[in-house]
Amino acid sequence: MPSENENTVHRVNEDADLVNASSTIESLGTFALGRFWVNRIGYGAMQLAGDNVFGPPRDRDEALRVLRAAIDSGINHIDTAQFYGPGTVNEVIREALHPYPSDLAIVSKVAARRDEVGSVLAYDEPDQLRAGIEENLETLDISQLAAVNLRLMDDSRPGVRFDAQLASLVQARDEGLIGAIGLSNISREHLHRALAQTQIACVQNMFNLADQHSLDILLDCESRGIAFVPFCPLGWPRGVQNEILTSPVLIDIATRLAARPAQIALAWLLDLAPNVLLIPGTRTRQHLFENMGSGSIRLDQATRAEIERHFPIGPSS
């Protein structure tokens, strides 16, 4: 059991981390997400579920502390989903933070569900999307979500079915259940078709140093004032992630800047465009503060060029 002195040192260190994180987040400025202006580093809650995003947290008490530390540090954008757990992540968010701060933007996504063994299944008919929104509201104990992303479950081209899905979210927004509409896992064709029918507040696609296929969508969003929220900013837990975090180039840059490779990869994303909103996730406060520390890293032109020689910038990478 930690001694009283050890507990005191831990509290002092965490207080310092909170102050540093708050200062860092404030220095990055904000970007519009529906009616909210959110800080550019948020928190992705997916990792609060058990392994494979299924079941309860590994450490519920630490999950609660992580969420409270995030808010205390100035984070005002949390990304979640009812199918994380399922339901358990939203329940932890509610336990940790309810009643919610008035400036907290809680964003969810719909179009998927989990079966009894954890498989991810489509749940994307218009009435199912509505049910998904209502389930999020119930488990979070909230009257309106800041935004809801329509998460596409396949790579089909937009058509009548996409229009019907979008109409379901428009109706939910018009009724006040959600504040804004987002899209996830989409093509530019989806974005343009949606914009012809309604306002889009955010796009959430995979994007990181090793997977830049959505760069054209990011830049399109930037020109239109739409937030771009990259998921898997460090890659999947296997494969792509290793390519980023074990990159000799990033390791060398991180050593020079007294940082970690993950922080360099996140700093690169923040530096790429002002509409990029990060939602890195973690199960621990230590990693939470490390993720927020990426906002204090400034990449000069030579360092950026060094990174992009190894990870060429462009949608074909």
- Whether residue 165 contacts residue 112, with contact meaning beta carbons closer than 8 Å, is answered with no
Q: Where are the alpha helices (DSSP H) in the chain?
A: 4-28, 60-72, 88-97, 126-140, 160-174, 188-195, 215-224, 240-245, 248-256, 261-272, 285-293, 301-310
- Whether residue 110 contacts residue 149, with contact meaning beta carbons closer than 8 Å, is answered with yes
123 flagged as catalytic: no
Question: Whats the size of the chain, residue-wise?
Answer: 317
Catalytic residue among 43, 84, 100, 123: 84
- Whether residue 202 contacts residue 182, with contact meaning beta carbons closer than 8 Å, is answered with yes
Q: Which residues of 94-124 are buried (b: 16+ CB within 10 A; e: fewer)?
A: bebbeebeeebbbbbbbbbbbeeebeeeebb
- Which residues are part of the catalytic machinery? 84
